[in-house]
Amino acid sequence: MDQASAMIYEPLTMNLQTKTLIVVAGPTAVGKTAAAIELAKHYNTVVVSADSRQFFREMGIGTAKPNADELAQVKHYFIDSHSITEPFSVGDFEKQGLALLDELFKTHDKVVLAGGSGLYIKAICEGFDELPTADPAIREKLNLELEEKGIAYLQEKLKLADPVYYNEVDLGNPQRIIRALEVFESSGKPISFYRQATVNKRPFNIIKLALNMPREALYNRINQRVDIMLQQGLLAEVKAMLPYRHLNALNTVGYTEIFDYMDGNTSLEKAIEMIKQNTRRFAKRQLTWFRKDQSFIWFDARDIDLIGQMVKVVEER
C-alpha cells in the first residue's frame, strides 16, 4: 500500500471502530424512555426502539409510547412504523434494524437502542440460530389444545418442556407459547437450545446499560402507569381494536384483560387489577432475561446523576 492509500485507509478504519450502539434496557415503567432521550441528546444522536408493541401505529396508550413532547426532543425509529395488520416478526426486526443502523452510522458515531423486549435487543446485538421448521399438523394440534383446554394448559406443557424459556416468555402471549412448543415437539429440543446461538459479530461496538429500582418502587410505578393509561383513554383504544383482536400483536397485557371485560367475563375493576398484576409479572420476567446477560451494566433509575453515570461508563468503554 502506498503512502497516499494508507492516509485514506487509516481514518476510515478508525471511524468504523468508533461506531457504538448504546443499549438502554430494563423492566417496563422503570424510565428507559427518558434516559434514552437524555443520552441521545448528550451525544446528538437518535433513538431506535426495541419494544415489540410500540412498532404498531394502532396501539398507542396501552404500549406506553413516548409522548409527542418526547418524540420532538430526539428522532425515534420503530415507533408507529408498522400496522398491526402487517406481519412483523423478530426476524424482520433484525433485518430492518441492522439495515437502519448501517444508514444511521454513516452520520452518527453513536446510536441509542432502547426497550424492554429482550428478544428484540438480542436480535440486533447477536442474532439467532435458525429455528427448525415445524410440521403444520403440530401447530394445528396446539391451536386446538389452546381452544379446548385454555392457555394455562399450554403454559404447563411449556414449563415441563422448556423451563428456561418458560421463565422468560410473555406467558400471556399464546402465539409465543405455541411457537416454543412446536419447536420442541418437532425437534425434541427446547427453543432455548436454539437461542444459545453463536453470537454474530456486528460491525459496531455494543455497550449494554440496564435500569432497575427496588421492587416496591417499580411496582408502584407500574400501578400508577396503568391508572394513567385508563385516564388517557385505554378503554376506547381497546374497543377500537375489537375487529383485530385475533391478531398476534393484540395478545398482550393491557389489551387481553380489557377484551375479557368487554366480553362480559369479568368486571372492569377486576380487569384493571389483572392488568397491573400481569404487568408486574412481565417486569419480573424482563429482569430475569436481562440479568442472564453478564454484559449489562446496571444503574439505579432513581439516581439523581443517572445520565452522568451512564455517560461515564460509555466514555470508559
Q: Consult the annotation and say whether 301 binds a ligand.
A: no
pLDDT at 151 over 80: yes
Q: Consult the annotation and say whether 264 binds a ligand.
A: no
Range 14-128+197-316 has CATH code 3.40.50.2300 = no
pLDDT at 20 over 80: yes
Highest mean pLDDT: which range of 150-154, 252-256, 307-311: 307-311
- The predicted-structure confidence for 108-120, as pLDDT tens digits, reads as follows 999 999 999 998 9
Q: Consult the annotation and say whether 271 binds a ligand.
A: no
Lowest mean per-residue pLDDT among 39-43, 63-67, 136-140, 287-291 = 136-140
Q: Consult the annotation and say whether 132 binds a ligand.
A: no
Q: Consult the annotation and say whether 72 binds a ligand.
A: no
Q: Consult the annotation and say whether 114 binds a ligand.
A: no
pLDDT of residue 18: 79
- The predicted-structure confidence for 202-257, as pLDDT tens digits, reads as follows 999 999 999 999 999 999 999 999 999 999 999 999 999 999 988 888 888 999 99
Range 136-194 has CATH code 1.10.20.140 = yes
Q: Report the pLDDT averaged over residues 152-171.
A: 87
pLDDT of residue 12: 39
What are the CB-based long-range contacts (under 8 Å, 24+) for 154-160?
154/178, 154/181, 157/181
**Domain ranges, ordered by start, for the chain:** 14-128+197-316, 136-194
Grid cell locating 52:
415489540
Q: Consult the annotation and say whether 27 binds a ligand.
A: yes
The average confidence (pLDDT) of the chain is: 89
Closest by CA to 22, choosing from 293, 205, 202, is 205
Q: Are 126 and 197 in contact (CB under 8 A)?
A: yes
The separation between CA 145 and the C-alpha centre of its own chain, rounded to angstroms, equals 28
Q: Report the pLDDT averaged over residues 176-186.
A: 86
Q: Report the pLDDT averaged over residues 149-177.
A: 86
pLDDT of residue 28: 96
pLDDT of residue 6: 38
pTM attached to this predicted model: 0.80
pLDDT at 297 over 80: yes
Same fold, 14-128+197-316 and 136-194: no
Please measure the distance between the N-terminal and C-terminal CA atoms of the chain and give it in whole angstroms. 31
pLDDT at 92 over 80: yes
DSSP states of 288-300 as a string? HHHHH-TTEEEEE
pLDDT of residue 36: 98
Q: 225-239 as b/e, with b when 16 or more CB fall inside 10 Å?
A: bbeebbeeebbebbe
pLDDT of residue 189: 84
Q: Whose grid coordinates read 448528550?
A: 42
Q: Consult the annotation and say whether 30 binds a ligand.
A: yes
pLDDT of residue 10: 37
pLDDT of residue 24: 98
- The predicted-structure confidence for 31-63, as pLDDT tens digits, reads as follows 999 999 999 999 999 999 999 999 999 999 999
pLDDT of residue 144: 86
